[in-house]
């Protein structure tokens, strides 16, 4: 398969919010919803949707608990998510390496 083929970059990771979420979770392992929202700088609704897509793909696990009558959600990177993220980075690097340098 060509490194330029459109499916070399996983769609579920390639979205900028999901890419940011996985990049952040790769550095910290797990984060609660509020902290993650503030780091990624997106709305609650957008974060919820992106977390669900990543969880459905098996890339993160969502842990919910009740603390002081409030639901607390923690997102944790799975081993499959870590592997998929690094595979994505490898594909992206191959693509970037194939592009000629910018002319001055």
Q: How many domains does the chain have?
A: 1
Whether residue 87 lies inside any domain: the answer is: yes
> DSSP secondary structure string, 10-71?
-HHHHSHHHHHHHHHHHHHSEEEHHHHHHHHT--HHHHHHHHHHHHHTTSEEEEEEEETTEE
pTM value is: 0.89
Q: Residue 77 above 80 pLDDT?
A: yes
Whether residue 88 lies inside any domain: the answer is: yes
Whether residue 2 lies inside any domain: the answer is: no
Whether residue 104 lies inside any domain: the answer is: no
- Picking from 44, 46, 42, 36, the residue whose alpha carbon sits closest to that of residue 77 is 36
Write the CATH number for 60: 1.10.10.10
Contacts of 100 (CB under 8 A, 6+ apart): none
Taking all residues of the chain, what is their mean pLDDT, rounded to a whole number? Answer: 93
6-37 residue pLDDT tens: 777 888 999 999 999 999 999 999 999 999 99
Backbone angles phi, psi at 66, to 5 degrees: -110, 125
Whether residue 24 lies inside any domain: the answer is: yes
The parent domain of residue 25 ranges over 8-92
């Amino acid at each position: 398969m060509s490194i330029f083929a459109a499916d070399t970059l996983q769609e579920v990771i390639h979205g900028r919010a999901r890419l940011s979420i996985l990049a952040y979770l790769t550095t910290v392992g797990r984060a609660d919803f509020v902290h993650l929202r503030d780091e990624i700088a997106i709305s609650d609704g957008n974060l919820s949707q992106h977390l669900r897509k990543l969880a459905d793909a098996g890339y993160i696990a969502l842990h919910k608990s009740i603390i002081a009558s409030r639901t607390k959600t923690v997102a944790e990177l799975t081993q499959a998510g870590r592997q998929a993220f690094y595979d994505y980075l490898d594909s992206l690097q191959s693509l970037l390496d194939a592009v000629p340098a910018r002319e001055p």
